[in-house]
Amino acid sequence: MPRMMKLAALVSLTLFAASAALFYRFGGETYLTLTIASGTTFYHLGVRLGISALYRAGMRNRADYTKQWYRPRAWEAPLYRFLRVKAWKGKMPTYDIGSFSRGEHTWEEIAQAMCQSELVHETNIVASFLPVLASRQFGAFGVFLITSVCAAAFDLLFVILQRYNRPRVIRLLEKRRSDRT
């Protein structure tokens, strides 16, 4: 997955540069549309890669899963049942499957990685709406808003997954600890 994301970001950056050059040379609605579409695509992919790299460098998958921010709220379980998270959670991609591998990590390390992943996706949600500011210069407010909402919704799915799965991982962790004593 990391390789595919980086390649998609590179392709969208290349398309952005080419379409922007064509737009500035020839003008025209088609080149402007291509420039906006490829630039927005590059932004959404690039910012996700950048935010993830910053958290990885700063936290190194060592978040404190006992902090209040990560604790489940009373309304979450009913929401997850309503959304049928259990049915679709296994169909979602994982960017770095090694971070969640039971063969490579303890349950505690996996819980910490899950917290960091949640923070990455929450930050991505906020960053998803920054392109809307570009609509002032380029127009096409609706396009920027729609792509921002779709990108934020995509990241929200991963926040939901982390928050759905983490209590189960913590229960396993606590069970292992109690079995040792």
Q: Quote the CA–CA distance of 41 and 177 in Å, as a whole number.
A: 45
Residue 88 has pLDDT above 90, yes or no: yes
pTM strictly above 0.85: yes
Residue 180 has pLDDT above 80, yes or no: no
Contacts of 44 (CB under 8 A, 6+ apart): 128, 131, 147, 151
Q: Which of 70, 60, 68 shows the shortest CA–CA distance to 105?
A: 60
Residue 84 is classified by DSSP as: T
Tens digit of each residue's pLDDT (9 = 90 or more) over 101-131 = 889 999 999 999 999 999 999 999 999 999 9
Contacts of 28 (CB under 8 A, 6+ apart): none
